[in-house]
């Protein structure tokens, strides 16, 4: 018999009741170290006092009006993100996939507005994940997400991740732009090199097409930069963000330059909930912290500590770990033992992490972790790898 909840998730049999910082507590009071952060969402950990205050203060005033009116919290969020990035303008959404949807529409509409309606296709990359709307699963191109949902939405040409020659070959008279994650999360923590990002930027400029970045997972401080592309010294034309910007409140945005947004005039796009006062009050509070003095430097420092520790972990388990990947606090352990077994062993040791493609264990801790959290995580990872190896060689764990 079907459950009241549509059974689209293979859920672990744990439920959490509350959290504080990088720790969450189950309904029966067991503490877990949270290196999943709701998949890079709880950027400031759980129950951050500044976010709790912003949320409750706004909750007493006004939750929702409509985008038919001015929303000062939304205007403030946009002004601050524009000041901190390449963007001149943005559309505020409720999720990552909606930010991507807006980005795709914007890229197509740009060329339409410039008199080139035939330019509607985007070059995308193998292993990509852009969300679960019909357009986003077509952009991601993963058969397991497309199967059974009818003809894939037209307009995406997929090439190998980072295959610049294939990008050049795929661009034709119908191409509107390139859509890429600077670091693939779900695809296995695959990092596009700064040189490759710069080359993609140059290709877009040479061919008169738009560079669209998906920073839904790697953005908002996760890499130790406000946005991942900054380390390459380039800027995109359009960028989708979500996850970390709400710190746990559902919100996303599609950021753009004035030129790239040229086609998005009154009536071309909308959202009932997108950017309501409650969501924007929380996102502004996230920015208070992330844009605060020294915050990103601290992320870089603690990320380096974790990275060094993971290198040590690999040295200790060369027969189970092939590689450490990623940037900042978006890290992946490429395993030679099954990643699902490692995640189960971690859960037994009361630590949460996330699976990724390519047999990777993904670590996405809150950006506020400290030395104790890192030491704790390394110890639990060491125990988990030892246990998985013992189980696979048939020894008693
Ligand atoms: C999570 C994610 C999305 C989709 O975001 P939702 O909020 O789940 O719709 C899109 N792109 C990337 C890179 C993501 O990690």
- The phi and psi torsions of 184 (rounded to 5 degrees) equal -75, 125
Bridge partners for 25 per DSSP = 18, 31
Residue to mutate (ligand 1; options 128, 129, 133, 273; most atoms within 8 A of CB): 129
Please state the domain extents for the chain. 50-290
User: Is the pLDDT confidence value at 69 over 50?
Assistant: yes
358 in ligand 1 pocket by Cβ < 6 Å?
no
Tell me the mean pLDDT in the region 82-93: 98
Contacts of 317 by beta carbon, 8 Å cutoff, 6+ apart = 382, 385, 386, 389
- In this predicted structure, what is the pLDDT of residue 397? 44
How many A from CA of 196 to the centre of ligand 1?
22
User: Is the pLDDT confidence value at 355 over 60?
Assistant: yes
Average pLDDT, the chain: 97
Task: State how far the Cα of 376 lies from the Cα of 382, in Å rounded to an integer.
Answer: 10
How many A from CA of 395 to the centre of ligand 1?
40
Task: Please identify which residue in the block is written with the tokens 């006062």.
Answer: 277
pLDDT tens digits for range 268-303: 999 999 999 999 999 999 999 999 999 999 999 999
366 in ligand 1 pocket by Cβ < 6 Å?
no
Task: Kindly provide the residue ranges of all beta strands, DSSP E only, lying in the chain, ordered along the sequence.
Answer: 16-20, 23-26, 31-34, 89-93, 121-125, 156-159, 175-180, 183-184, 190-191, 210-214, 238-241, 252-256, 321-327, 330-335, 351-352, 354-356, 360-363
User: Is the pLDDT confidence value at 207 over 70?
Assistant: yes
pLDDT tens digits for range 9-21: 999 999 999 999 9
Of 128, 125, 131, the closest CA to residue 101 belongs to 131
Read off the pTM: 0.97
Q: What is the DSSP letter of 193?
A: P
217 in ligand 1 pocket by Cβ < 6 Å?
yes
- In this predicted structure, what is the pLDDT of residue 393? 79
Of 63, 68, 108, 62, the closest CA to residue 271 belongs to 68
- In this predicted structure, what is the pLDDT of residue 392? 85
Fold entry, domain 50-290? 3.40.640
Task: State how far the Cα of 324 lies from the Cα of 201, in Å rounded to an integer.
Answer: 27
pLDDT tens digits for range 96-112: 999 999 999 999 999 99
Task: Please identify which residue in the block is written with the tokens 């352990």.
Answer: 333
Residues, the chain, total?
A: 397
Of 365, 358, 379, 395, the closest CA to residue 313 belongs to 379
* Confidence class for position 395, pLDDT limits 50, 70, 90: low
Is the Cα dihedral 196, 201, 204, 206 positive or negative? negative
Judged by phi (left if over 0) then psi (alpha if -120 to 50, else beta), residue 131 lies in left
Of 44, 42, 35, 40, the closest CA to residue 346 belongs to 35
């Amino acid at each position: 018999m079907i459950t009241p909840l549509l059974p689209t998730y293979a859920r672990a049999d744990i439920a959490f009741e509350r959290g504080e910082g990088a720790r969450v507590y189950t309904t029966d009071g067991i503490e877990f170290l949270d290196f999943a952060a709701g998949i890079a969402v709880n950027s400031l950990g759980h129950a951050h006092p500044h976010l709790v205050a912003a949320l409750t203060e706004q909750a007493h005033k006004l939750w929702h009006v409509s985008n038919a009116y001015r929303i000062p919290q939304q205007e403030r969020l946009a002004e601050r993100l524009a000041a901190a990035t390449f963007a001149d303008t943005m559309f505020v959404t409720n999720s990552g996939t909606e930010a991507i949807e807006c980005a795709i529409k914007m890229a197509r509409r740009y060329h339409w507005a410039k008199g080139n309606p035939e330019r509607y296709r985007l070059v995308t990359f193998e292993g990509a994940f852009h969300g679960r709307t019909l357009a986003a699963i077509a952009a991601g191109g993963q058969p397991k997400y497309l199967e059974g949902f009818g003809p894939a939405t037209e307009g995406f040409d997929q090439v190998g991740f980072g295959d610049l020659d294939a990008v050049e070959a795929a661009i034709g008279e119908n191409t509107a732009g390139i859509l890429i994650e600077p670091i693939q999360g779900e695809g296995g923590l695959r990092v596009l090199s700064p040189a490759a990002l710069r080359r993609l930027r140059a290709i877009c400029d040479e061919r008169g097409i738009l560079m669209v970045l998906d920073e839904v997972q790697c953005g908002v401080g996760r890499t130790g930069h406000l946005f991942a592309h900054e380390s390459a010294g380039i800027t995109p034309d359009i960028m989708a963000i979500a996850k970390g910007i709400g710190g746990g409140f559902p919100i996303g945005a599609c950021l753009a330059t004035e030129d790239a947004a040229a086609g998005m005039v009154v009536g071309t796009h909308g959202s009932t909930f997108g950017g309501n006062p409650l969501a924007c009050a929380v996102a502004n509070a996230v920015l208070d912290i992330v844009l605060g003095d020294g915050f990103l430097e601290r992320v870089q420092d603690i990320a380096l500590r974790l990275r060094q520790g993971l290198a040590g972990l690999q040295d200790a388990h060369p027969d189970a770990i092939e590689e450490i990947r990623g940037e900042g606090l978006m890290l992946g352990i490429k395993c030679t033992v099954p990643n699902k077994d490692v995640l189960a062993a971690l859960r037994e040791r009361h630590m949460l992490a996330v699976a990724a493609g390519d047999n990777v264990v993904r670590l996405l801790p809150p950006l506020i972790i400290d030395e104790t959290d890192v030491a704790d995580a390394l110890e639990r990872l060491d125990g988990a790898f030892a246990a998985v190896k013992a189980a696979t060689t048939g020894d008693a764990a």
